[in-house]
Amino acid sequence: MRFSTFITAVASLAVGINAYWLGDISHQGVAPFAGSGYKVFRNVKDYGAKGDGSTDDTAAIAAAMNDGGNRCLQGCASTTTTPAVVYFPAGTYIISKSIMPPYFTQLIGDPTNRPVLKATANFAGFGLVDGNPYFTENLNWLSVNVFYRQMRNFVIDTTAIAPATAATGIHWPTSQATSLINIEFNMPTDASTVHVGLFVESGSGGFMSDLTFNGGATGASLGNQQYTMRNLVFNNCKTGIIQLWNWGWTYINLQFNNCGTGIDISAPGADNTLAVGSAIVMDSTFSNTQVAVKTAYTTSTTPDTAGSVILENIKLTNVPTAVQGGSGSLLAGGSMTIAGWGQGHQYVSGANRELSGSITPNARPASLTGSNGFYSRSKPQYNTLPASSFVSARSSGAKGDGTTDDTAALQSAINAANNGKVLFLDYGLYKVTGTLKIPAGTKIIGEGYPIIMASGSFFGDINNPQPLLQVGANSGDAGQVELTDFVVGNSGPAPGAKLIEWNLASDAANPSGMWEVHARVGGFQGSNMQVAQCVKQPGSAAINTNCIGAYMLMHVTPKASGLYMENTWLWTADHDIEDSANTQITVFSGRGLYIESTVGNFWLVGTACEHNHLYNYQFANTKNIFVSMFQTETPYYMPLPDATQPFPVVASLNDPNFATSCSGVAGNCAESWGLRIINSSNFYIYGAGFYSFFNNYDTSCSTVTAGETCQSRIVSLEKSSSINIYGLNTIGSLSMLDRDGASVASWKDNVNVYPSNIIMYKSG
């Protein structure tokens, strides 16, 4: 052991510079629309940062962020044309003003020895890292349009700032396809401390994991539409989490040690209402903490179901009060395990609508469980591999320039990496005109979200779909694949493109994984589906066939099994990211994610699927599915056109047939399902938000006063059993949930802060 450690150390000295492979490999990413000489990768030390614990590195880090002249910061709406990966080697970087990463920036520290960002005593700014600055009274970017950014492997230190002086570690109001991973926040523990580790006031997230908060008044102050957060540790915080507002939230594996309050979801809203929609807390521990969870839900608070909560598998050690309500203790604590407890509206056969008290959680299938609750695996960063273990797509001949056909070069890069190596997909836009076959054993990691784009006639037939990425070239192939940090999409019309076809069978004990692998159809430079080609046409049901971008975003075929998906956003664009006004566009994609694995064993953790035509999520003939926070949106153009055209109904794919199923259903029935489950069983859904905001680009249908009339139905369970849903949220749909063609619950019986909420549903 010692000897090989020594050899590794000598080897890394020999190649010179960094401990982590990302610092050592050659950097060849190209951003074809950013101008010549534009650098995607920036090492802060190349811009003069010292990381020596004494030099003020603020200006050097800003220079690394802003290099290139045309980066998207103040006054810029959003962009995909000027990406940056900003790398921080180990060291202590002293900063005196906020670091403001422009749009489409990744901040990556060395995970083998995390860099420290340390504030000076007189630090000025809202966050050592300010992910969305207030240059004016408004956030710089509309927080619901902040996509494609991440930050990982850092220590954020505010201990040099006086405890009673306001200080924030990271300010992060962002949305889909963003993440904070593997970050420690160090704050003063003095009684007078007012420091806050993480502050999020808005957005439509999202995902975060592996964060530790030490000290401070509040570990994390969180307001956002919905989130999955995993593996958060709070030590010596006055309050671990203050939930400012939300529509829904799922917390997995939190640990609170020596805090005053663990999680506070009791925040008031305007006019005597509650601000927090609901929260699910699972597989978590609270130790030496006065109050584990503070709630405000009662049968007389408003809105009706606001403040709903589920606790499942919660271990308490010396916690006097488990749940504290507005007028005292609702559940005494001690040292014990809470199997299940909840408040809100339940739809469970034989039970009262009002839930307040203990619940009996569903038995979890062994195939879905890991060492601590449901199986999970944080994003691989390949910390132990040397640079020589990586095969570069560019070195293998791929151009990534958005115009060259890279099909053959990428396939040979995939093949070259398939012997214990990892394919490094250098930043670029890779145009592909055929199927890329990804065999068992493949590992791919992208640099700053490169995109592989389906292009040309191979993907042109709406009646003959072809896969862009085919994982497991043959149905029934077995083994494991790991895909991380890249995007699949289209360049030009691709009505026959299935962006990902997953055929691979993986053992549930050793599943395959996808982390931050996203789909993006239209809405970016290189897609040829922007404002110029596909601007919205309100009032018209005409279908511009040049704006059909995909047949299906992801298809998991019958013999596939065993896949862990984390922070995956399958997006058919509703607006043009490059447009200065984020103008809306009409782009069509037939189907979102379809899983028809007969073996099952899938984990969907912090995934979202938006604006797909027939459905966003559909499952058929499958079982054993764990979900943490489904999130969908119905296409904004519907019902002009509605879902009956232009995609022909394919019976072998179990497509919904609205022409027949809508008979007798009032309202806008032929619209995309948020979720449809057919002939399936054993679903464990922890949080869901199915949203229909628009009626032909007009939002007036998605309000309580308008009667949530955007569409008739949004979730359908058909011939299925053991479907368990905690925290079902819907917006804009008359029926919240249908079973075998009949509505189970109406929005108006379950009004929440903006959505309607059912905190617990069991299909039986």
Ligand X SMILES: *[C@@H]1O[C@H](CO)[C@@H](O)[C@H](O)[C@H]1NC(C)=O
Report the interface residues with ligand X, using CB under 6 A.
598, 621, 679
Q: For residues 656 and 145, give the distance between their C-alpha atoms in angstroms, rounded to a whole number.
A: 30
Residue among 621, 615, 565 nearest 596 (CA): 621
Closest CB 119 distance from ligand X, rounded Å: 56
| Nearest distance from C-beta of residue 466 to ligand X, angstroms | 25
User: Least distance in Å: CB of 558 to ligand X?
Assistant: 8
- Cβ nearer to ligand X, comparing 234 with 683: 683
* CA angle (614, 620, 623) in 5-degree steps: 140
Task: Choose between 644 and 679: whose C-beta lies nearer to ligand X.
Answer: 679
Which residue, 354 or 740, has its beta carbon nearer to ligand X?
740
Strand spans (E) along 7-83? 41-43, 52-56
Q: Locate 402 and state its tokens.
A: 């958005």
Tell the smallest beta-carbon distance from residue 719 to ligand X (Å): 7
Residue 717 in contact with residue 210, Cβ under 8 Å? Answer: no
Cβ-based nearer residue to ligand X, 201 or 718: 718
Between 225 and 720, name the residue whose CB sits nearer to ligand X: 720
Smallest Cα–Cα separation from 156: which of 101, 103, 200, 99?
99
Distances (CA, A) of 162 to 189, 191, 195, 216, 733: 11, 12, 9, 11, 50
Nearer to ligand X, 376 or 561 (CB): 561
Q: Kindly tell me which of 140 and 597 has the beta carbon lying closer to ligand X.
A: 597
**Which of 222/620 has CB closer to ligand X?**
620
Identity of the residue, 118 or 623, whose beta carbon is nearer to ligand X in the bound complex: 623
Largest Cα–Cα distance of the chain, in whole Å? 75
Per residue in 81-93, is it b (16+ CB within 10 Å) or e — as a string?
bbbbbbbbbbbbb
The distance of closest approach from Cβ of residue 599 to ligand X in the complex, given in angstroms and rounded to an integer, is 9
Considering the complex, what minimum distance in angstroms separates the CB of residue 682 from ligand X? Answer: 12
Phi, psi of 525 (to 5 degrees): -65, 130
CB of 562 to ligand X, least distance (A): 16
Specify whether the CB–CB gap between 553 and 612 falls below 8 A: yes
Minimum distance from residue 481 beta carbon to ligand X (Å): 23
Residue 264 backbone dihedrals phi, psi, to 5 degrees? -115, 110
Q: Is the peptide bond before 206 cis (omega within 30 degrees of 0)?
A: yes
**Distance from the Cα of residue 538 to its chain's centroid:** 30
Residue with the shortest CB distance to ligand X: 621
Cα separation values, 508 from 39, 438, 563, 627, Å = 41, 20, 8, 15
Beta bridge partners of 242: 221, 264
CB 643 → ligand X: shortest distance, Å?
A: 22
Question: Within the chain, how many helices (H) and strands (E) appear?
Answer: 6, 45
